[in-house]
């Protein structure tokens, strides 16, 4: 069974450009999460989807970030326009059950903004 896959693994863009990160959760997992670690900081929660609905987006840093999960399958996270402080690793995770189940994380998408 395939795990959580993320694309691209690494993206290098210039300040002001747009980047879209994609996450394919494990098949059948209704819950999808985005986390990120910026340089030198801790891993931080961004948002949580249940199917196609945003359950909690309290961790989204500002309106330059837009997450979607149309159809309740894969998700995209768009950063527009990117700023230097957006550099970091963006992790996606999925789970079958809400509550006390295990989260399965992808390998992350490293974003470098120059």
Contacts with other proteins, residue ranges (CB under 8 A): 4, 31, 35, 42-45, 48, 55-56, 58-59, 89, 91, 93, 95, 98-108, 110
CB of 76 to other proteins, least distance (A): 18
> 30 or 81: whose CB is closer to other proteins?
30
Beta-bridge mates of residue 49: 32, 54
Peptide bond into 67 cis (omega under 30): no
> 59 or 81: whose CB is closer to other proteins?
59
CB of 58 to other proteins, least distance (A): 8
Peptide bond into 8 cis (omega under 30): yes
CB of 62 to other proteins, least distance (A): 18
Burial zone of 44 (CB within 10 Å; 0-12 exposed, 13-18 middle, 19+ buried): middle
Burial zone of 52 (CB within 10 Å; 0-12 exposed, 13-18 middle, 19+ buried): middle
> 17 or 76: whose CB is closer to other proteins?
76
CB of 83 to other proteins, least distance (A): 22
């Amino acid at each position: 069974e395939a795990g959580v896959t993320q694309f691209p693994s690494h993206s290098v863009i210039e300040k002001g450009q747009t980047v879209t990160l994609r996450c394919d959760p494990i098949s059948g997992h209704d819950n999808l999460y985005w986390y990120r670690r910026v340089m030198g900081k801790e891993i931080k929660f961004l948002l949580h989807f249940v199917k196609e609905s945003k359950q909690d987006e309290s961790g989204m840093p500002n309106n330059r970030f837009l997450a979607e999960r149309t159809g309740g399958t894969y998700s995209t996270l768009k950063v527009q326009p990117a700023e230097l402080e957006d550099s970091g690793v963006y992790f996606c995770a999925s789970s079958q059950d809400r509550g006390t189940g295990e989260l399965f994380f992808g390998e992350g998408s490293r974003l470098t903004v120059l």
